[in-house]
Structure 1
Amino acid sequence: MVETETATGPVIVERRSSGGGLLIGLVLLIAVIVGAVYLINQNNRENIKTNAVTSAAESVGDAAKDVGGAAKDAAKKID
């Protein structure tokens, strides 16, 4: 409340907020939370993909070792 003095008497001006700023702030907060959840989920999905590729690569490596061992055994039998 602002009070000023004039020649005819005091003038009182009341300022009231409509709450628009609070609403905008709430909407922005919700948007930030939704964005954070999305980014966390995206990161988790990438980690799952990376782990799957790593596991597949290890399986291929193990299979290659088995094939190499079988080839060595076959070569020894031929000699």
Structure 2
Amino acid sequence: MPTERTVEHPDGRVERITENDPAAAPVVVESRRGGGLGGVVALIIGLALVGLIGWFLINMNRNDAVESNAIAGAADSVGGAAENIGDAARDAVPDRQPPAS
């Protein structure tokens, strides 16, 4: 609550002074603190992101292995087909006897 007082100076001046008492004024301190839920949510999202990236990297490695195995299988198949063609060509030509001299 403000305090008013009057001061009379020797030269005849009258001064009115109003003072606010800092002890009487209420002090309001506002503090907002989170419950830490935001940090927990961020941690869960971060772990999920790391897991997702790891899953993609592992699948990419598996896909490379599957592709390599498919190429190797195709090469074996082509080799087998070439062998069959060679056998068929050899069987198609009759044996020739050397000419008599």
- After TM superposition, the score normalised by the length of structure 2 is 0.63
Q: CA offset at residue 23 of structure 1?
A: 0.8
Partner SS for 2:34: coil
For the pair shown, the structure with the greater C-alpha radius of gyration is 2
Q: Which amino acid aligns with 1:12?
A: V
The offset of 1:42, in angstroms, is 1.4
How many angstroms apart in 1 are the aligned matches of 2:40 and 2:26?
Answer: 38
Say whether 1:33 aligns with 2:50.
Answer: yes
Match of 1:13 in 2: 30
Gaps of 5+ in 1: 1-6
Q: Could you say which structure has the higher helix fraction?
A: 1
Gaps of 5+ in 2: 1-23, 97-101
Q: CA RMSD in A?
A: 1.9
Task: State percent identity of aligned pairs.
Answer: 21
Distance 1:31 1:50 in 2: 28
Does residue 79 of structure 2 align to residue 62 of structure 1? yes
Structure 1's consecutive aligned runs of 4 or more residues displaced over 6 angstroms after TM superposition are none
